[in-house]
Amino acid sequence: MPPKAQFTREDGIYHSFCGLVSVGWLYQKIKDSFFLILGTHTCAHLLQNTMGVMIFARPRFAISLLEEADLSSAQPAIADQIAEITREHHPSVIFLLSSCTPEVMKVEFEGLAQSVSTPEVPVLFVPASGLDFTFSQSEDSVLQALIPFCPEAPPDDKRVVFLGSVNDAIADDFLFEASRLGIPVAGFLPANHFHELPPIGPGTIIAPLQPFLAKVANQLTNDRGATVMSSLFPFGPDGCRAFWEDLAAHFDLKVDLSEREAASWARIKEHTDLLKGKKVFLSADTLLELPLARFIRAAGAEVLECSTPYINRRFHARELALLDGVRLVEQANFERQLRSIAEEQPDLVISNIITANPLIGHGVVAKWGTEFIFSPIHGWAGVNTLVSLFTRALRRHARLDPLGNDPVWMAGVMPGAPEIIPLTRG
């Protein structure tokens, strides 16, 4: 049994940012895919703004806008749009994503996807609405939809499948490292192309790269009999060492990466010197919080609080064990967090996209948690980028003129907060 981690569940919102946002990295990762979202103008507005879509670009995602007529029909009509997408973009697979309104309308998405699916271009339903998913979790839904298309590997095919989307440079780094250690690789889920999905079977070792993929990992065990590795996630020198040593052990390879870890820490000393003794508060939203907190703690920072939308005792067991003594909170109450920030005066707050700027307006040094999701922070190759995301915010703040009580900055910013977050930082 995994150790019983101590954490508090509060009454804050679970879904801090819409699940549709994962389209932003997944459409780039699966290069022959198309993402169609059945939604409203709100969803279109969100995607257009968060992904910075240029009008001349031809992104491989779109919103099928719900019309008034859809409210009275049995199913929204999307056949013409699917035909147009196939004609214009030639995708190998189309993901049909749900959103809040059609889910409230009880649109039967499975049936809708099947009605427009063909053997040549499957249309796969992906539950992703802001009602049920925090944004990184919808990658989990996309990967679950892909499982039936992964070839069945025979029991004696013992290779690793890396689980989670990373960019090509980071994927190359993982392939290189695996080959250096003599670990056979079956591939990545997701792969760069729909027809390159890795074979998965009872001999497969699943190595999770992202902490928000608990459901797909579980499904790979149930459906294919694969073994899901329990380790740290490969973030930071400490995480990478544990990840690769544990993975090697699955292949009966005894590997000692202590020198490699020490060299990696030495390379980022300039950053860790800055982080040492700093009080860090993770208030955030991405589900990356547990490994991020474990890494900055190992780098010498004091973690005042690590809040995250959701903790899975089994999937996060190794990270939780290393966060013993840290205040861990699931579904944190934001009002309480504001009071804690005012009382404890952290040197750095990792916060979500909605609250980071108002916190900065109140003199708190804050960083968007979202940036960690969109940055190449995995593996040995990602260590410098990872630590720089923490220290850049501190350095930038040190260079700024104090905002003081400048009313221009403060007017209308987080109206409920001025009494409880004193402007003490210079």
**Environment class of 347 (CB within 10 Å of its CB; exposed 0-12, middle 13-18, buried 19+):** buried
Kindly tell me which of 66 and 170 has the beta carbon lying closer to ligand SF4. Answer: 66
Q: Smallest gap, in angstroms, from Cβ of residue 330 to ligand SF4? A: 20
Region label for 61, one of left (φ > 0), alpha (ψ between -120 and 50) or beta (otherwise): beta
Cis before 407 (ω within 30): no
d(Cα 77, Cα 103) in Å, to the nearest integer?
Answer: 15
Q: Which of 7, 12, 16, 18 binds ligand SF4 (CB under 6 A)?
A: 18
Q: Smallest gap, in angstroms, from Cβ of residue 260 to ligand SF4? A: 42
Is 306 annotated to bind ligand? no
**Environment class of 180 (CB within 10 Å of its CB; exposed 0-12, middle 13-18, buried 19+):** exposed
Q: Smallest gap, in angstroms, from Cβ of residue 374 to ligand SF4? A: 18
Q: Smallest gap, in angstroms, from Cβ of residue 138 to ligand SF4? A: 10
- Please report, for residues 29, 63, 94, 408, the alpha-carbon distance to residue 45 in angstroms, rounded to integers and kept in the order given: 22, 10, 21, 28
Q: Which of 7, 12, 16, 20 binds ligand SF4 (CB under 6 A)?
A: 20
Q: Smallest gap, in angstroms, from Cβ of residue 351 to ligand SF4? A: 19
Is 43 annotated to bind ligand? yes
In the region spanning residues 40 to 79, those forming contacts with ligand SF4, defined by CB under 6 A, are 40, 42-43, 46
Kindly tell me which of 40 and 92 has the beta carbon lying closer to ligand SF4. Answer: 40
Kindly tell me which of 48 and 424 has the beta carbon lying closer to ligand SF4. Answer: 48
Is 240 annotated to bind ligand? no
Kindly tell me which of 53 and 185 has the beta carbon lying closer to ligand SF4. Answer: 53
In the region spanning residues 99 to 158, those forming contacts with ligand SF4, defined by CB under 6 A, are 99-100, 129-130
Q: Smallest gap, in angstroms, from Cβ of residue 311 to ligand SF4? A: 22
Please provide the DSSP assignment of 275-318 as one string. Answer: HTT-EEEE--SSS-HHHHHHHHHHTT-EEEEEEES---TTTTHH
Kindly tell me which of 40 and 375 has the beta carbon lying closer to ligand SF4. Answer: 40
Interface with ligand SF4: number of residues (CB under 6 A)? 11
- With vertex at residue 24, the alpha carbon angle to CA 126 and CA 386, rounded to the nearest 5 degrees, is 120
Longest dimension (CA), the chain: 68
Sequence-ordered list of residues with C-beta below 8 angstroms from that of 305, at least 6 positions apart, any chain: 281, 282, 283, 326, 327, 328, 329, 332, 337, 340
Q: Smallest gap, in angstroms, from Cβ of residue 129 to ligand SF4? A: 5
Q: Is 421 one of the binding residues for ligand SF4 (CB under 6 A)?
A: no
Q: Are 185 and 178 in contact (CB under 8 A)?
A: yes
Kindly tell me which of 61 and 244 has the beta carbon lying closer to ligand SF4. Answer: 61
Strand partners, 93: 33
Which stretches of the chain bind ligand SF4, using CB under 6 A?
A: 18, 20, 39-40, 42-43, 46, 99-100, 129-130
Binding site for [4Fe-4S] cluster, by residue number, is 18, 43, 100
